[in-house]
């Protein structure tokens, strides 16, 4: 299972787990195929898994009256979840939708907690969960508001997103209208 190797690699960046421990962890994983436009999570569901993206991409967003508000994108070799719902065990405000046909490996929070009881070194999996997303950066870029600056910031930090996700979604992520994004792109390129 070469796909588990990638997962083990990400685990080793947070803690020097033994091969044995890694095996115990990966044994808890379930592989799943998710078709484009299918949901990993819907509003009001309580999120109780985290998923490693083997292939494909996802988008976390909220539905407002007449819009979708994109909070975050996730691509392969990263973990995806709704941290807030997961940790607070609350119904989610968000949708997590596959933007492409994707393959993921999921593990439940319960399993993670059980692993922690088996062996304290698994406590380090917390960092894994905590790593999921720190939107602080997003908050500051939103407030340093110039659309051009925000787009440049994206170009610098997540250049791959730009050709991978529809501009409507990128615009929503940046907190601007699609028209403005189009003009920003014309201006900058």
Partner DNA sequence: CTCTTCAATTGATTACAATCAAGAAATCAA
Partner DNA sequence: TTGATTTCTTGATTGTAATCAATTGAAGAG
The residue (of 119 and 148) whose beta carbon lies closer to DNA is 148
Would you say 113 or 187 has its CB closer to a copy of itself?
A: 113
CB 55 within 8 A of CB 76: yes
Q: Is residue 149 close enough to count as binding a copy of itself by CB under 8 A?
A: no
Per-residue DSSP letter, 45: P
The span of 50-58, 97-105, 118-126, 150-158 binding a copy of itself (CB under 8 A) equals: 118-126
Alpha-carbon distances, residue 189 vs 59, 173, 180 (angstroms): 26, 20, 14
Distances (CA, A) of 149 to 79, 89, 140, 143: 27, 36, 12, 11
Report, in Å, the least distance between residue 187 CB and a copy of itself.
Answer: 21
Between CA 92 and CA 80 the distance in angstroms is: 14
For residue 42, give the 3-state DSSP assignment: coil
Residues 149-188 that bind DNA (CB under 7 A): 166-168, 175-183, 185-186
- 84 sits near a copy of itself (criterion: CB under 8 A): yes
Member of 146, 154, 162, 164 binding DNA (CB under 7 A): 146
66 scored as a contact of DNA (CB under 7 A) = no
Q: Which residues bind DNA (CB under 7 A)?
A: 145-148, 166-168, 175-183, 185-186
């Amino acid at each position: 299972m070469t796909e588990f190797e990638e997962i083990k690699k990400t685990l080793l960046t947070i803690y020097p787990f033994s091969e044995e421990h890694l095996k115990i962890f990966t044994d808890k994983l379930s592989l799943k195929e998710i078709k484009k436009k299918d949901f990993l999570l819907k509003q009001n569901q309580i999120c109780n898994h985290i998923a490693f993206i083997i292939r494909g991409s996802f988008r976390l967003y909220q539905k407002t009256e007449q819009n979708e508000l994109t909070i975050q994108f996730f691509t392969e070799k990263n973990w995806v979840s709704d941290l807030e719902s997961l940790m607070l065990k609350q119904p989610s405000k968000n949708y997590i939708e596959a933007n492409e046909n994707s393959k993921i490996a999921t593990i439940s929070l319960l399993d993670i907690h059980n692993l922690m009881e088996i062996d304290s070194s698994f406590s380090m999996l917390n960092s894994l969960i905590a790593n999921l997303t720190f939107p602080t950066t997003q908050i500051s870029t939103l407030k340093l508001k110039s659309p051009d600056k925000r787009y440049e910031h994206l170009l610098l930090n997540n250049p791959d997103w730009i050709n991978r996700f529809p501009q409507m979604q990128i615009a929503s992520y940046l907190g601007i209208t699609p028209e403005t994004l189009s003009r920003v792109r014309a201006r900058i390129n």
